[in-house]
């Protein structure tokens, strides 16, 4: 009997050790700062691109470099591009494993629509400090702090909060926090419902692994090292608290953040809300799927709330 108890104990230790090791590996893949080999984001500027003009402008326009300190004492960096005579500003958040230099299409669009543009590097990305990606939960407070900084540093009276992918999820999470009066609306492109949902989905898609128990172990490691759990990073819970206008955009061919996540966020949002499903568009490609149509949809939505 004693031998069986010892054997079972050894098996449990081996399995537990293996799970912790696997959780540690996936923490470094998904959370820790560093290159994400499973995501390729081209920086090449092609004249064939539907947003070549916007990207070219963004690459060459004069930018101001801003810095703030986050609530947990990280140096965060952003680019600010003014629009002469405008009192409207967009705070624009990039996606997972991205940085501010990749946001030319959206920055160019908002500038064409008459907005000053602020594009931060998220924590643990680009020129900003930080060792852990927050899947929107840590970034939500940074985004709101950037909005407050815009008000302090400029003559802005109206702010739009916008983002793509993880940046969209972070903005959705920010929408559930206390808002400054200058924030008038949110526009989020390809947001996920929660860190737990998207990491579970990607574990299956990329590695053919079940969510339980690996995602739960990785979440526990993330709680210890980065200060949050995957269940905390819940955009659905946050959008339920939001009372500002929100536009949700998703491509019907998005296999990285499935369209059903955008639909769930929409169902749980309060009015005024808009869901635009772009037929045939993949992850965050709605803007290149039909640039003028994308621009018109965003403009028509914002004109109702930003004057």
Cα separation, 235 vs 61, in Å, equals 34
Cα(199)–Cα(36) distance, integer angstroms: 14
- 173 and 204 inside one domain: no
Q: Which residue has the higher pLDDT, 226 or 18?
A: 226
Minimum mean pLDDT range among 4-8, 79-83, 123-127, 213-217: 4-8
In this structure, which long-range contacts are made by residues 217-221, counting pairs with CB atoms below 8 Å and at least 24 apart in sequence?
Answer: 217/19, 217/20, 217/22, 217/23, 218/23, 218/26, 218/27, 218/30, 218/31, 219/195, 220/23, 221/20, 221/23, 221/24, 221/27
Structural domain that includes position 80: 50-194+233-302
Q: Do 161 and 205 share a domain, yes or no?
A: no
Considering the domain architecture, whether residues 118 and 204 belong to the same structural domain is answered as no
User: Are the C-beta atoms of 162 and 106 separated by less than 8 Å?
Assistant: yes
Whether residue 153 sits in one domain with residue 5: no
Q: Does 158 lie in the same domain as 21? A: no
Among the three residues 173, 204, 231, which one is the final residue of a domain in this structure? 231
Question: Phi/psi of residue 37, each to 5°?
Answer: -65, -25
For residues 205-217, average pLDDT: 78
And the tokens for 275? 């869901």
Average pLDDT over residues 88-99: 97
The per-residue pLDDT for range 146-188, each reduced to its tens digit, is: 999 999 999 999 999 999 999 999 999 999 999 999 999 999 9
Mean pLDDT, the chain, integer? 90
Residue percentage of the chain with pLDDT more than 90: 80
Report the number of distinct structural domains present in the chain: 2
Helix or strand holding residue 270 (H, E) = none
Q: Please tell me whether residues 210 and 284 are part of one structural domain.
A: no
Look up residue 159 and give its two tokens.
């702010």
- Summarize pLDDT for 280-305 with one digit per residue, the tens: 999 999 999 999 999 999 999 999 99
Q: Are residues 2 and 85 both part of a single domain?
A: no
Q: CA-to-CA distance for 79 and 146, rounded, in angstroms? A: 11
Number of alpha carbons in the 13 Å side-chain half-sphere of residue 180? 19
Residues 113-118 have a mean pLDDT of: 98
% of the chain beyond a pLDDT of 70: 88
**Residue 76 in this model has a pLDDT that exceeds 50:** yes
Q: Is residue 307 part of a domain?
A: no
Are residues 122 and 168 located together in one domain of the fold? yes
Looking at the structure, tell me whether residues 213 and 101 fall in a common domain.
Answer: no
Instruction: Give pLDDT, residue 221.
Output: 94
CATH of the domain at 152: 3.40.50.1820
Q: What is the pLDDT of residue 43?
A: 65
Pair 189, 268 in one domain: yes
Q: Is the domain of 222 the same as that of 249?
A: no
């Amino acid at each position: 009997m004693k031998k069986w108890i010892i054997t079972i104990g050894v098996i449990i230790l081996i399995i537990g050790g293996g799970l912790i090791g696997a959780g540690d590996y996936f923490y470094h893949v998904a959370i820790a700062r560093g290159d994400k080999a499973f995501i390729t984001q081209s920086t090449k500027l092609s004249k064939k691109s539907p947003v070549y003009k916007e990207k070219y402008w963004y690459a060459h326009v004069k930018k101001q470099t801003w810095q703030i300190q986050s609530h947990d004492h990280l140096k965060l960096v952003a680019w600010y591009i003014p629009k002469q005579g405008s009192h409207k500003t967009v705070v624009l958040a990039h996606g997972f494993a991205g940085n501010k230099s990749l946001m030319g299409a959206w920055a160019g669009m908002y500038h064409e629509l008459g907005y000053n543009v602020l594009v931060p590097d998220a924590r643990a990305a680009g020129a900003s400090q930080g060792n852990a990606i927050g899947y929107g939960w840590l970034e939500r407070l940074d985004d709101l702090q950037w909005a407050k900084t815009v008000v302090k540093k400029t003559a802005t009276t109206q702010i739009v909060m916008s983002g793509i992918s993880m940046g969209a999820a972070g903005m959705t999470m920010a929408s559930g926090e206390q808002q400054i009066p200058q924030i008038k609306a949110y526009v989020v492109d390809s947001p996920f419902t929660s860190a737990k949902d998207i990491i579970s989905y990607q574990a299956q898609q990329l590695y053919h692994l079940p969510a339980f128990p690996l995602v739960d172990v990785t979440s526990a490691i993330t709680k210890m090292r980065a200060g949050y759990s995957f269940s905390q990073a819940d955009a659905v819970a946050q959008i339920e608290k939001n009372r500002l206008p929100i536009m949700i955009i998703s491509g019907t061919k998005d296999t990285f953040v499935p369209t059903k996540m955008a639909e769930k966020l929409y169902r749980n949002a309060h009015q005024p809300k808009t869901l635009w499903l772009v037929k045939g568009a993949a992850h965050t490609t709605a803007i290149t799927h039909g640039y003028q149509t994308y621009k018109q949809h965003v403009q028509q939505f914002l004109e109702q709330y930003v004057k």
